Amino acid sequence: MVIAVVLMYVIRLFQIQILDTRYRYSADNNALYYRTVYPTRGVIYDRKGRMIVSNQPSFDVMVVMRNVKNLDTLAFCRSLDITPEYFDSRMADIRNLRKNPGYSPYTEQVFMAQLSVNEISDFRENLYRFGGFSINQRQQRKYNYEAAAHMLGDLGEVSKSEIDNDSWYTQGDVIGKQGVEKYYEAKLRGEKGTEVLLKDAYGRIQGSYYDGEYDKEAVPGRNLRLGLDIELQMLGEKLMQNKIGSIVAIEPKTGEILCMVSSPTFNPSELSGRHRGEHFQELAARPDKPLLNRPIQGTYPPGSTFKTSQALTFLQEGIIDTRTQYPCTGGFVFRGLRVGCHAHSSPLSLNFAIATSCNGYFCWGYYYMIGASKYGTPQNALTVWKDYMVDMGFGYTLGVDLPGEARGMIPNSDYYDRHYNRSWNGLTTISNAIGQGEVTLTPLQIANLGATIANRGYYITPHVVSYIEGEEPDSAYITPHYVNVDKKNYEIVVQGMRQSVIDGTCRSANTSDYLVCGKTGTAQNRGNDHSVFMGFAPMDDPQIAIAVYVENGGFGAVYGVPIGALMMEQYINGCLSEASMQKVELYSNRSIDYGEEER
């Protein structure tokens, strides 16, 4: 029995002293202080190597509550330019276990975060007077251009749920909240390091433990290079001043997004630093919704830009060929239904129908496809039609490397069966033919349609980031997606889009410098129509595909075409002519009166 008892004690002592680390950690924590070393966040460059997002010093005021004694509160508040009421409120929040579950009076807590050099300077000089408080240096974002706020995103303090979801974060840390900063957070943030310091019996830091032998260096975040051309972005934002809408430009060969303008916009620096919350609330309260990333979150009727996808589908399915002609006497008129159109010659073939943006031609093509006997039923025909639309990148998210992408709407036969009790046909759903009715796309999807036509039948998933330091590119952003439409049919549509620029609805985009292909859209709306343009250039060596969407801007030729033409000229030529610079001033100063309902 004695041997058994002794043996039990030996085993238990072995467990406590050797296997169980809790007591060793407790002893270490009494003697050692583990200070987190924050890594340098990755820097962001544009496609030409210009640094658009960098880092600058930022300071956190830290407090160990048990060490705060005989504090001159008024002097403390003056040094940080805060009120005594704010001081009391903040100290109460730190002690509140519900708001701060990890609170301990023996550990450092964040009193104030993300102070600038100017904001911390007075406090730093008087720090010796404020026992229990210290300064922890880290970095905050510096935006070198007042542009691309929606694409770049911003940083904000982590929430409790974000801490619960990822143990990397602790209270007071910052995390990407929107845009590239959020999507590539794990790449940009790096890895934290640890500095082990020795404490005396009173908790005062005595210096490095074993000369830093047990320190762990922080690993900097990875740098990113974007496909963004910051000069093109700034031009787009200027052209969209006083307007609501978006511009998206893509490099067809790579799928890299050259610019992504969402208007109205804001200075990205407004959401940097400790005043982020105030500015965010101000932006969120505005009726014109500047925080909405319209290129990927706005869903709109694509209008006549959608006719190019219809032409491709009808050609591939054998519904039409280049010789097919349809009448258009003021529009599509059949069995009491009328879809209006502007004046032009009739009957007309596909090339002229694209050039003049004829509603009648595409309504007839859609009607004959949905009613074609080879499909058996309208439901089967619409399913074939819908599959072509999905294959072209509509109805689902494209997979852009930004958070919050919307999918848009491509109706299927089940949708109409539910709404019309299975009693519907091509006339019931005729609006699909001209990009109206239930059909909605994002501006990114419209631009991607332009890139697909420019490539004669394939697209690479549009993406913002072209290169991550030290990593191979994601296969999703280098693999072509081929549409189930023959290249020869794309060539036919390209000729129609070229004709539109020569003597059709896109004439103002014509230039002798390179061959432009385009398609206008005038999307119907409860208020004034939306002005839309989709195009690419040069015709046989496409460098840029673009979509312009100006809400309530009227005909596509009013705003969409001239803005798109200026953007293409800037990117292809690298600059604008003197005449084009005058146009920039003209269109940037034009404003549209938006009523509350239209917003």
Give 497-522 pLDDT, tens digit per residue.
999 999 999 999 999 999 999 999 99
How many CB atoms lie under 10 A from the CB of residue 201?
A: 7
Alpha helices of 148-191 — where are they, by DSSP H? Answer: 149-152, 160-165, 179-183, 185-188
Contact 545, 522 (CB under 8 A): no
Distance CA 520, CA 506 (A): 6
pLDDT of 551:
95
pLDDT of 268:
95
Q: In the listed set 202, 226, 250, which residue is the last one of a domain according to the structure?
A: 226
Query: Is 521 part of a structural domain of the chain?
Result: yes
Pseudo-torsion of CA 67, 68, 71, 74, nearest 10°? 140
The reply to whether 357 and 315 lie within a common domain is yes
Q: In the listed set 226, 251, 282, which residue is the last one of a domain according to the structure?
A: 226
Among 311, 351, 315, smallest CA distance to 501 is for 351
- Model confidence over 422-444: pLDDT tens digits? 899 999 999 999 999 999 999 99
Mean of pLDDT values over 576-580: 96
Q: In the listed set 178, 208, 226, which residue is the last one of a domain according to the structure?
A: 226
pLDDT of residue 23 exceeding 70: no
The reply to whether 128 and 260 lie within a common domain is no
pTM score: 0.89
- Model confidence over 522-558: pLDDT tens digits? 988 777 899 999 999 999 999 999 999 999 999 999 9
Distance CA 394, CA 448 (A): 10
Contact 542, 252 (CB under 8 A): yes
pLDDT of 598:
44
Distance CA 50, CA 387 (A): 42
pLDDT of 599:
43
As a whole-number percent, the residues of the chain with pLDDT over 90 amount to: 76
Distance CA 574, CA 565 (A): 13
Joined together, the tokens standing for residue 580 give: 């084009």
Q: What is the CATH number of the domain that holds 157?
A: 3.90.1310.10
Model confidence at 104, pLDDT cuts 50, 70, 90, reads confident
Mean of pLDDT values over 570-592: 95
Q: What is the DSSP string of 185-213?
A: HHHHS-B-EEEEEEE-TTS-EEEEGGGGT
The reply to whether 220 and 236 lie within a common domain is no
Query: Is 13 part of a structural domain of the chain?
Result: no
The reply to whether 534 and 400 lie within a common domain is yes
The reply to whether 145 and 260 lie within a common domain is no
Distance CA 311, CA 411 (A): 18
- Per the structure, the complete domain to which residue 189 belongs is given by 36-226
C-alpha triplet 200, 171, 158: angle, nearest 5°:
155
Highest average pLDDT, of 89-98, 103-112, 145-154, 209-218, comes from: 145-154
Average pLDDT, the chain: 92
Split into its structural domains, the chain has a count of: 2
The reply to whether 433 and 389 lie within a common domain is yes
Query: Is 277 part of a structural domain of the chain?
Result: no
Q: What is the CATH number of the domain that holds 522?
A: 3.40.710.10
The reply to whether 409 and 502 lie within a common domain is yes
The reply to whether 244 and 373 lie within a common domain is yes
Among 506, 368, 363, smallest CA distance to 437 is for 363
Query: Is 220 part of a structural domain of the chain?
Result: yes
The reply to whether 327 and 399 lie within a common domain is yes
Mean of pLDDT values over 23-38: 66
pLDDT of residue 346 exceeding 70: yes
Whether omega before 220 lies within 30 degrees of 0, making that bond cis, reads no
Query: Is 276 part of a structural domain of the chain?
Result: no
Query: Is 12 part of a structural domain of the chain?
Result: no
The reply to whether 157 and 192 lie within a common domain is yes
Model confidence at 28, pLDDT cuts 50, 70, 90, reads low
As a whole-number percent, the residues of the chain with pLDDT over 70 amount to: 96
The reply to whether 69 and 147 lie within a common domain is yes
The reply to whether 312 and 211 lie within a common domain is no
Query: Is 279 part of a structural domain of the chain?
Result: no
User: Beta strand 205-208 with 224-226: parallel, antiparallel or unpaired?
Assistant: unpaired
Model confidence at 10, pLDDT cuts 50, 70, 90, reads confident
Contact 465, 401 (CB under 8 A): yes
Query: Is 472 part of a structural domain of the chain?
Result: no
Contact 281, 303 (CB under 8 A): no
C-alpha triplet 148, 585, 154: angle, nearest 5°:
10
